[in-house]
Every structure is written in C-alpha cells, then in structure tokens.
Chain A
Amino acid sequence: DTGVSQNPRHKITKRGQNVTFRCDPISEHNRLYWYRQTLGQGPEFLTYFQNEAQLEKSRLLSDRFSAERPKGSFSTLEIQRTEQGDSAMYLCASSFSSGQETQYFGPGTRLLVL
C-alpha cells in the first residue's frame, strides 16, 4: 500500500509523560503536514514541512510540541509533558508540490491522556 501510514494508531499515556508519533508519507510527496482533530471538529493545522524544512508552525503548537522530518521522508511529532487537553486524533497528511493543494491523510494516531 502506498498511502500515508501512521504509528501507533492508538496511544494511552499518563499526564506528564512524553509521547512520540511517526508518519510515513506517500513516497514521492515532498510536503508533509500534521493536524490535530478533536471530536466533532475539523482537522486543525499544526505544522508543515517541505522536504526536511519545517516552514510553518501554528500558534496551536506550544513549546511542548516538536516535529522533525530529518531526511525529508518520515516525520515524528513529539509531545512533552502531556496534558489532558492534548487528547485528540493526530493526523498526518502529505502532498506533492503542484498548483492544487490536494492533501492525502493517514489513518491518524488517537491519543488519550489520563
């Protein structure tokens, strides 16, 4: 399957712990995005990479959040000192540079902070 994959699919953690999620984009896509989605809402943008460069970060991305895309392929999203408010679905998407911004989403990582 050549779609976007994310691991783990589910994560339960205790408040204050650190968690890391991984995203593998579609192989020929040079852009990678992280979004967060809570129940009943649309995805909210967190950050965006073009190749290995992180070009934009949302104000939603507090200093407890960090994302990397070291070789312009897979990406990781780390949340330090998790809080209950971090509980959400974390979605990764990828796209290829073109005039039309069509993003393809992975299945997401559902995080529950107890």
Chain B
Amino acid sequence: GQSLEQPSEVTAVEGAIVQINCTYQTSGFYGLSWYQQHDGGAPTFLSYNALDGLEETGRFSSFLSRSDSYGYLLLQELQMKDSASYFCAIDTGRRALTFGSGTRLQVQP
C-alpha cells in the first residue's frame, strides 16, 4: 500500500515564506502532486514533480527527492487568500491518486 505524512497545521504571517513537507511510502512511484483546497471548495491542482529537483510556478515551488521519498511545497510572499488546506498526493502509475491527510495553512495578518 501507500502512505503519506504531512503536518496537520501550519501558521504563518502575511508576506512570509512557508514550507509544507510530505514524506511517502509506496511500492510504485511516478510522481508527487500538490493540491490546494479552500473550505467547501474543490481540490485545485498546483504542481506535479516526476523528477528530482525544484519546480517553480509563480509564488509556489515544489521539490522532490525520490531517493528520500520526500517532497515539499514552498509558498512565498504569503497572502491571506493562501489560507487553505494543502494535500500532497502520489501517482503510483495506477491512475488513482493517493492523498495525504492535508496540511491546514493559516495565514495571519
């Protein structure tokens, strides 16, 4: 089976940088995705890492180390609208994504 671990809550202030870590265990691995979900909303795709290294998309960056079974999502210049839950999810090649339990990010003024 697969399992993912990520912190349950993170708090940061507006304008700061925050890193949300994700470690995983899986027998098959194609890539690591990150999704954002606001309360009552749908999960929204943020990024996908298949290879080691850093992928940057605007204020958000995502990192993957396949050898360490570890990734993180980096959010820079935090804004109040970034308050949401963030999920890492692994693609094992079976098409279904396996999601972590999510990290609730609270951005404070």
Contacts and interface: CB of A to CB of B under 8 A. Distances in A.
Interface of A: 4, 31, 33, 40-45, 48, 50, 55-56, 58, 91, 93, 99-108
Given A45-B97, A100-B50, A108-B42, 9 more contacts: A44-B99, A45-B96, A100-B31, A100-B48, A101-B30, A101-B31, A101-B95, A101-B97, A105-B42
B42 A42 contact: no
9 nearest CB pairs, A to B: A42-B99, A45-B96, A105-B42, A101-B91, A105-B43, A42-B87, A107-B42, A43-B99, A48-B95
B101 A41 contact: yes
A102 B96 CA distance: 11
A100 to B, nearest CB: 5
A91 B97 CA distance: 13
B41 interface: yes
B94 interface: yes
Contacts of B91: 101
12 contacts: A40-B101, A43-B97, A55-B95, A56-B94, A91-B43, A93-B43, A100-B48, A101-B30, A101-B95, A103-B97, A105-B44, A107-B42
Nearest to A4: B42
Contacts of B50: 99-100
Contacts of A4: 42
Interface in B13-37: 30-31, 33, 35
B41 A40 contact: no
A50 to B, nearest CB: 8
B100 interface: yes
B107 interface: no
A102 B33 CA distance: 8
Contact of A56 (B96, B100, B102): B96
A36 B48 CA distance: 22
Contacts of A101: 30-31, 33, 48, 91, 95, 97
